[in-house]
Structure 1
Amino acid sequence: MKVYTQSINFNASATLLDFTQKKVESLTKFHDKIVDAEVFFKLENSSDKENKITEIKINIPGNELVVKKQFKTFEEGVSTAVESLKRRLKKSKEKLRDSLVS
Structure 2
Amino acid sequence: MNVNIQTVNFNADRKLLDVIDRKMEKLGTFHDRIIGSVVYLKLDNVVHNIKDKIVEIRVQVPRHSFFVKTTSKSFEESFESAFDSLVNQVKRRKEKMIA
TM-score range, shorter chain: over 0.9
- Structure 1 residues 20-99: aligned runs within 5 Å: 20-46=20-46, 47=48, 49=50, 51-98=52-99
Shift in Å, 1:25? 1.1
For 1:82 and 1:96, locate their aligned partners in 2 and report how far apart those are by CA, in whole Å.
21
What TM-score, normalized by structure 2, do the two folds share? 0.93
1:48 Cα deviation from its structure 2 partner: 6.4
Shift of 1:49: 3.5
Show structure 1 runs of 5+ residues with no match: none
Q: Letter of the 2:7 partner, please give it.
A: S
Deviation of 1:26 after TM superposition, in Å, equals: 1.0
Give the superposition deviation at 1:50.
5.5
Q: C-alpha offsets along residues 27-66 of structure 1, whole Å, 9 cap, x if unaligned?
A: 1111111111100001111126451100000111100100
CA separation of 1:38/1:65 partners in 2, compared to 1, >3 Å: closer, same or farther?
same
SS at 1:87's partner residue? helix
Task: Name segments (4+ residues, structure 1) moved above 2 Å.
Answer: none
Does the CA contact (< 8 Å) of 2:44 and 2:52 recur in 1?
A: yes
Paired residue secondary structure (2:31) = coil
Matched-pair contact (CA < 8 Å) for 1:50–1:73: no
What is the root-mean-square deviation of aligned Cα atoms in Å?
1.2
